[in-house]
A and B are shown apart, each in its own frame.
Chain A
């Protein structure tokens, strides 16, 4: 336990001293700016009660998408160099001969990265809610579970990238992470195209992608927590029913299982490889 604590503390300290918090600050400004721009847009039609009702809700939904994006990118950035870069630079040689197990090194890195990424993601989410409250005068605290589900995005992509980092070079790790995120993101457009143009193959590919990287399950789970703010028209639409219906318990379980399996794979691969 001490080795895991020491390595995670070192990872956190390094992250802070590398001034990653500057990027975090910029992301916070982006969140504030996003809400501000939405408020400006709404103020053009200040007397339309529908606009005044819908814009804060849409701002919150899309704002959480921004938070998801920043959280995932932050976790991927930190995880991509965690193992691969330290091997390339020879940092791990002085650590691995010490009385520590290799799994402790990977777990220490994983915890250190996720603590930083999750703290930032939570900060951005809270900032979003506070900005919507202050700038638009609306509170949606009843959707407090949604930001917690959003936290799973950095966990998912950070774990996946750390797994790549245990066997690939830094460059390849970054490439594989970007490809994974792209594949995950492409599921929804593929499904939409498949339905609109009636392409069975595309739908089958989308079905497989959904299990390869279960981002879509998470996206629908976040939406489920936001039901009370989703405009009624959106909820009633066929598109929402087709693409955004709440995930089943099995699908949610799959996400957690997926993260655990990827982490175990990372531990196994790093244990077996030559460093």
Chain B
């Protein structure tokens, strides 16, 4: 596959992937994923974002072969998911899951490793290794039912990376973790990326996604609203946080004429300008309109700003 003359290996490609749920007797119809076209380059950390009910988990379940598409298709590393060879290259941490909780952590990993096609000699080396990576080596002989939610999530991550997959799909991997656990997962994702693995990350913690992802796709109502490299998407529109001594309608009119006000709270507002060259001009206009500036902080648009803007624009 080639884009702009550069050969790209796609870890995931979807073609008009659609999932429609129909109720019994087909009285109600819910379009969960609507003609989704997505391309995830191999070797990158890809953020899959969207508000609740956007169709993210349904998409993931289709990619894993658990849910069948109504129409359209997809490929993982250029092959169909029915190919067991491709499945060996996937690791997955589900969002809502429960393990067989009467097994010990070690037994559980042995079971999943054997199921993934690993040999016993590999597992003897690999199980302690991944348990150490997720900080559970000392609890290897404890039963899963004795684990906290956060520890179970760590074990879930261990299960997902145990067989050294090339594509790791993480559905809300840090939802039950404390700040230290989140940092560990972040570091783990970056280590996986350094080893050339593809990480497909679905998370609502946008600050974390921003720290680790190379590319993101923002989904709403089952459709991709925006997709691209994070550096490109976030450099499009610089934003400025401004605080005035007092609110002035005249100043706001001037600001609105040259920028888009994306948040407003009394004498504070956040404005988005077209380019970095517009920032000094905005400051000048505010002062000329009689505004008394207490704070003027230009910053790059955060992923959260982008997310809110894209979701609101598409509403």
Contact = CB atoms under 8 A, between A and B. Distances in A.
A228 interface: no
Nearest to B87: A99
Interface string A109-144: 000000000000000000000000000000000000
B100 A97 contact: no
Interface in B99-142: 99-100, 102-103, 111-112, 114-117
Contacts, number: 73
A100 B115 CA distance: 7
Nearest to A104: B115
Given A6-B114, A10-B111, A96 B99 contact: no
B270 interface: no
Interface residues of A, number: 24
Given A6-B115, A99-B117, A94 B102 contact: no
B236 to A, nearest CB: 36
B274 interface: no
A93 B97 CA distance: 7
B100 A10 contact: yes
Interface in A33-57: none
A274 B66 contact: yes
A90 B97 contact: yes
Interface string A163-199: 0000000000000000000000000000000000000
A89 interface: yes
A93 B117 contact: no
Interface in B41-91: 61, 64-68, 84-85, 87-88, 90
A98 B87 contact: yes
A90 B64 contact: no
A233 interface: no
Contact of B88 (A3, A7, A96, A99): A99
A91 B112 contact: no
A151 B97 CA distance: 35
A18 B100 CA distance: 11
Given A96-B64, A97-B92, A274-B66, 19 more contacts: A7-B115, A10-B103, A13-B103, A14-B100, A89-B97, A89-B98, A90-B94, A90-B97, A91-B97, A91-B98, A93-B61, A93-B97, A94-B97, A97-B64, A98-B112, A99-B88, A99-B116, A101-B84, A272-B68
28 contacts: A3-B115, A6-B111, A10-B100, A10-B111, A13-B102, A17-B103, A89-B97, A89-B98, A90-B96, A90-B98, A93-B61, A94-B94, A94-B97, A94-B99, A94-B156, A94-B159, A95-B112, A95-B115, A96-B65, A97-B64, A97-B65, A97-B90, A98-B112, A99-B115, A99-B117, A100-B84, A274-B67, A275-B61
